[in-house]
Structure 1
């Protein structure tokens, strides 16, 4: 599984990055990206980041 951020809708609030820095980061433009691999150990935290996103631009999909 992996997380995907719809960068066009991202408002750069940073909730995903602060919730799960192992998977989410900011790119050079200050927009969130998913740069880490999800696994069973961090799935719940990534799901929390997705649920915390105020603009709902994070998806969790199969590889």
Structure 2
């Protein structure tokens, strides 16, 4: 799976927020050694971004 560029181009929200969320999710996935990483050829960031853009996971800002 490649990085979801089409979704990134069409994204209308705050680009900084989605970037931070993808980075944080990629860290979580790598620390948990999620089996989906193996199925995604070891591409953790693209997996995290795909999860965010397809609403498989949600993110929110903490205050």
Name the TM-score class by shorter chain. Answer: 0.3 to 0.5
Structure possessing the higher radius of gyration over alpha carbons = 2
Pick the structure with more strand per residue: 1
TM-score by length of 1: 0.32
Pick the structure with more helix per residue: 2
